[in-house]
Structure 1
Amino acid sequence: MQLVYPVDENDVYYELTSLTKLNLYPLWVSCGLSPLDKEQNLLFIFLILKMPVINFIHQLKLQDIPEAIQQEGVRSLLDTLGAAIIGRKTHVSHIVNEYVVTVSGGKGAFLWLDGREVSMPAAAFANGMTTDAMGIYGGHPLARGTAGATLLATLLATIPPNATGQELLTSWIMGFEVAFRAGIALNKRDSSRAHTACTWNAIGSAAIASRLLSLSVSQTKHALGIAEYTAPVAPITRTVAYPTMLRTGAGWAAWQVLRLHYWLSKISQDHLLSI
């Protein structure tokens, strides 16, 4: 048996290989752009058009991204951090922090506004749930959901200590672009069910982790495929009808993705894991 997720034309990952077939302008940008901004951002569209998704994940540079998108990236990052700060005061944040400290037993990342060190997946889970607790960060209507909580938890759990602010912002924007397009692809493929955002957040999260953990092309392909296969599939209509602290499941998506990335990091660049 091999650690591999087979990809075919019905998969979300397959549809991601032609990112811009899904929308004319960069999905990451807010819908309120002026016509001038949209014309300037066409250069970014041309960049995405000629780049396979794997190249987009690993090769995107901040200078490739138009100024309007960079500014929106900074605004959204601050907005999501604000959601995390207020979320830390919630009951669910206290529960998940105590839970991961009890069961994690690992090192490598920290709980926000807490300081205790836990494993990378455990931190992503707790911090994702904390950010998601109040539901006050932005999303995209075409994707039918939000992405910031899962992506921020993944970003800050995996970013190297010596990384620059430019790399942080580039990875943040790239993750959103992949996540939102995955959301549209999922809704297009399975329009009969309303998923929570965590179902497609996992793919954007996998993209960020693959870049920041320097996975190979082969490892990244499998990371995206396995993330889509193992992502939480939660019916959002139930938490809309009966609101609970489960929210969108953002922490579960981040936790699952970072577990699989630890797994994939142990595979050599040229070989899959046979079991």
Structure 2
Amino acid sequence: MPLAFHDFAHDLEYDQLPEQVLTVLRRSFLDTMGVAAIGSTTEMAAIARQGATALFGAGSAGAARVLMDGTPLSPAGATMAGAFTIDSVDAHDGTSPCKGHAGSAVFPALLAFADTRQDMRGSDFALLLAIAYEVSYRAGLAQHASCADYHTSGAWTAVGVATALARGLDASADAIRQAAGIAEYHGPRSQMMRCIEHPTMLRDGVGWGAPTGVTAAYLAQAGFTGAPALTCEDAPAYWNDLGTRWRLVEDTHYKPYPCCRWAHPSIDAARDLMRTNNLTHGDIAKVDIKTFHYATQLAGHRPRTPDEFAYSIAFPVAAMIVRGQLGAAELTNDTLNDPDILRISHATTLIDDAHLTKISAGKRWAQVTLTTTDGTVYASAPRTPRGDADDPLSDTEISDKFHLFTDPVKGHDQAHRTEQLCIRFDSLNAEAFSELLDLLLSPP
């Protein structure tokens, strides 16, 4: 008989977690905290902190500090501000089969919860992370298979957060089941394509989905009941192998660039064509990008805000062609107004390719053609982005990205210490894990 999700969450122990699961969680911890650091400097994060502070003061659940800021709020309030902070820079880990992200919801929720406790060890935190990621991914797959609309990650991460946090609260298996049902019912069924077509600070819905999951867990522990979570209980195809197969190992990807994953295969292709053929941006007259249907909605030939930059293809590809990189420096207003980048962005055509659409189910495909000013044509083969499980970023690349984002915010010494603790977080005793919390939850 298949393992019920609430029994899985209730009975799982740290020593049952495979090493592959822990490896992914360690990488995700470091990668996500780097994004949180640079995200904490954005206008979007500042507004979220202001709103959360106004509305979600600390209560009887205990104070939780806002990620990278230190303001004490309720667990739900700190989660809300933290989720918006991470989501403000689209460089966090994700899952291509779910077309979304779990870490941007899971980490701020569980860090806020951990901050209300005095004795949490790294192994305790790893257990909750594993539950939250795995339940989120499976709920996301079930939701995408059963709903006509493409909903944001906030819709299904609410379920994973609620399930894990209820376990953290030592809830019974039935109360964990109720928590998932409450979270799914109240979770934001926000339509992702609306934000892609009209990019704003709404982003991926985790700013409301994550605190919904936190609230659901506390309500369930107090006796509040919820309708069964359909994504967990009415979609057996996505749960039959729970406990024997780990979707978080198979499906988690990491981003080398701070923009929508759908743009990454095109960016990689353009980067390789430029380097292999010793081209400069002055050589480029025209860019053609064949890709899948959803990706062609990422127009963005002239983004005016960081939100529009995040949901574009033409402009990030042009930035890579001009600058040879796509990092923190490319998130500035100067980049948005760079005449060389704008010239190539406006010379870029997005082509909706039926074959690439068909095969872009668990993967994201694109093919790039560069035409030079003398008429020479350079074409890449169709490709998927770097960072997937079958083409992973190296530990060095993850570390370099972390320092690129964190050093300017926290300073190199504090960033280095944070990295040392993140990459072995699950082995930390309560004292060392408390030090890591202080590093992550304190202002720069």
The TM-score range, normalised by the shorter chain, is: 0.7 to 0.9
Given that 2:78 and 2:108 are in contact with CA atoms closer than 8 Å, whether structure 1 keeps it comes out as yes
Greater relative contact order (Cα 8 A, min sep 6): structure 1 or 2? 1
Task: Tell me which residue corresponds to 1:137.
Answer: 92
Task: Tell me which residue corresponds to 1:228.
Answer: 184
Cα distance in 2 between the residues matched to 1:105 and 1:137: 27
1:223-248 deviation per Cα after TM superposition (whole angstroms, max 9, x unaligned):
11111111101111111112111110
Given that 1:158 and 1:213 are in contact with CA atoms closer than 8 Å, whether structure 2 keeps it comes out as no
Task: Tell me which residue corresponds to 2:141.
Answer: 184
Structure 2 residue corresponding to 1:123, chosen from 78, 103, 120: 78
Cα distance in 1 between the residues matched to 2:172 and 2:144: 29
Task: Tell me which residue corresponds to 1:243.
Answer: 199
Q: How does 1:1-275 map to 2 (within 5 A)?
A: 51-107=3-59, 108-159=63-114, 160-190=117-147, 192-267=148-223
1:97-122 deviation per Cα after TM superposition (whole angstroms, max 9, x unaligned):
11222222324211122212111111
Cα distance in 1 between the residues matched to 2:68 and 2:111: 13
2:70 counterpart letter in structure 1: G
TM-score, with length taken from structure 2:
0.48
Given that 1:127 and 1:153 are in contact with CA atoms closer than 8 Å, whether structure 2 keeps it comes out as yes
Task: Tell me which residue corresponds to 2:394.
Answer: none
Cα distance in 1 between the residues matched to 2:94 and 2:181: 23
Identity of aligned residues (%): 30
Given that 1:209 and 1:258 are in contact with CA atoms closer than 8 Å, whether structure 2 keeps it comes out as yes
Cα distance in 2 between the residues matched to 1:69 and 1:255: 25
Given that 2:67 and 2:108 are in contact with CA atoms closer than 8 Å, whether structure 1 keeps it comes out as no
Aligned-residue offset at 1:260: 2.6
Matched residue of 1:163: which SS? Answer: coil
Given that 1:83 and 1:134 are in contact with CA atoms closer than 8 Å, whether structure 2 keeps it comes out as yes
Matched residue of 2:67: which SS? Answer: coil
TM-score, with length taken from structure 1:
0.76
Cα distance in 2 between the residues matched to 1:114 and 1:146: 23
**Higher Rg of the two aligned structures:** 2
1:187 counterpart letter in structure 2: H
Given that 1:154 and 1:208 are in contact with CA atoms closer than 8 Å, whether structure 2 keeps it comes out as no
Q: CA RMSD in A?
A: 1.8
Aligned-residue offset at 1:50: 5.4
Cα distance in 2 between the residues matched to 1:234 and 1:266: 28
